[in-house]
């Protein structure tokens, strides 16, 4: 199984606990939903330009084990063309990881982060946010994008930025782009898998994640993850020829419009479609 997926959603590196146990000392309110810097730190789209370097900001962090406070520099944005080693650290679950000066505990801080790959025209914005408040995250993202648009020189288009709400989604998107796969078509495939297997794959309880390492030219692989426990349960195979047929079908204007209607963005997620149904994990309207 892909080691990046394993690190992000299955197995934390030794000594690095889940960052939901952290707290931040320099905010007037305690962390919400367990994410230390998710809702009180909004760096916008610093470092969004092709020639912009990766950027950091200093925060006061309190150790979740001993309570020791220390100031640390955490990345706001990474430009993986200018600093490719930061992509390696991100995929190895080593980005924005610190060690307590007193008790030596190592832990990761989840915070808003812009992933920028100008060479491949890929920009992904992470806002760590609980799935119950995805709508709030989309509104905040829209506000940030609007502010960015106002700062751009005349004649420069607003960049196309993907929105994700977890580190696992961020890593998955990077794997998809690296593999040359369309994220909307992959999410459509997940949508159909959920729709046809609701009793076994309740989207309120199960997450589907693309597994790049086990995928081949003949098959695409998806990991089934138990959402509450984050435990990896099984591997699903999907015929690559079917993906290619879908890509050809959705390349037609009328069908492209249908796909965009189902997944308008900026947060493209099959599971989120089902989670928006408040009481019944039944099927959203099928295109």
Condensed to tens digits (0 to 9), the pLDDT of residues 26-81 reads 332 223 222 244 433 444 554 455 556 899 999 999 999 999 999 999 999 999 99
Q: How far is CA 135 from CA 39, 72, 144, 163, in A?
A: 13, 31, 14, 12
Question: Containing domain of residue 242, as a range?
Answer: 182-275
pLDDT of residue 150: 64
Residues 115 and 186 in one domain: no
Pick the last residue of a domain from 140, 168, 196: 168
Pick the last residue of a domain from 144, 168, 192: 168
pLDDT of residue 133: 78
Q: Residue range 120-134: average pLDDT? A: 86
DSSP 59-83: EEEE-TTT--EEEEEEEEEEETTT-
Q: Which residue has the tokens 């015929």?
A: 239
Token digits of residue 182: 């369309």
Question: What sections of the chain are H helices per DSSP?
Answer: 3-5, 84-91, 134-151, 167-178, 183-196, 240-249, 253-262, 270-275
Residues 162 and 77 in one domain: yes
Of 187-196, 244-253, 271-280, which range is least confident?
271-280
Eight-state DSSP code of residue 32: B
Greatest CA separation for the chain: 60
Token digits of residue 241: 């020829």
DSSP 28-56: SS--BTTBTTTTT---TTTT-STTPPPEE
Q: Is 174 a domain residue?
A: no
pLDDT of residue 75: 95
Structural domains of the chain, count: 2
Cα-based torsion angle of the residue sequence 185, 191, 192, 195 in order, rounded to the nearest 10 degrees? -170
In this prediction the pTM is 0.78
Q: How far is CA 44 from CA 76, 113, 133, in A?
A: 9, 9, 19
Q: How far is CA 176 from CA 144, 170, 282, in A?
A: 25, 10, 27
pLDDT at residue 283 is higher than 70: no
Pick the last residue of a domain from 141, 168, 195: 168
């Amino acid at each position: 199984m892909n080691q990046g997926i394993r690190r992000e959603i299955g197995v934390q590196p030794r000594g690095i606990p889940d960052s939901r146990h952290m707290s931040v000392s320099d905010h007037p309110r305690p962390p919400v939903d367990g994410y230390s810097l998710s809702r009180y730190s909004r760096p916008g789209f610093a470092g969004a330009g092709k020639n912009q370097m990766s950027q950091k900001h200093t925060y006061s962090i309190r150790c979740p084990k001993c309570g020791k406070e220390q100031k640390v520099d955490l990345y706001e944005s990474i430009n993986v063309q200018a600093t490719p080693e930061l992509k390696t650290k991100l995929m190895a679950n080593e980005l924005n990881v610190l060690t307590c000066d007193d008790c030596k505990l190592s832990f990761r801080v989840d915070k808003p982060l812009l992933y920028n790959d100008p060479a491949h025209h890929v920009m992904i914005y992470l806002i760590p946010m609980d799935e119950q408040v995805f709508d709030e995250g989309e509104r905040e993202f829209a506000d940030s994008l609007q502010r960015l648009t106002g700062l751009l020189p005349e004649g420069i288009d607003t960049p196309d930025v993907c929105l994700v709400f977890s580190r696992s989604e961020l890593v998955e998107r990077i794997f998809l782009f690296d593999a040359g796969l369309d994220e909307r078509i992959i999410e459509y495939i997940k949508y159909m898998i959920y729709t046809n297997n609701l009793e076994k794959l309740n989207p309120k309880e199960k997450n589907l994640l693309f597994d790049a390492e086990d995928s081949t030219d003949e098959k695409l692989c998806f990991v089934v993850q138990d959402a509450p426990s984050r435990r990896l349960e099984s591997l699903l195979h999907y015929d690559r020829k079917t993906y290619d047929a879908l890509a050809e079908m959705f390349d037609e204007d009328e069908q492209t419009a249908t796909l965009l209607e189902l997944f308008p963005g900026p947060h493209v997620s099959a599971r989120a479609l089902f989670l928006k149904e408040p009481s019944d994990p039944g099927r959203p309207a099928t295109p």
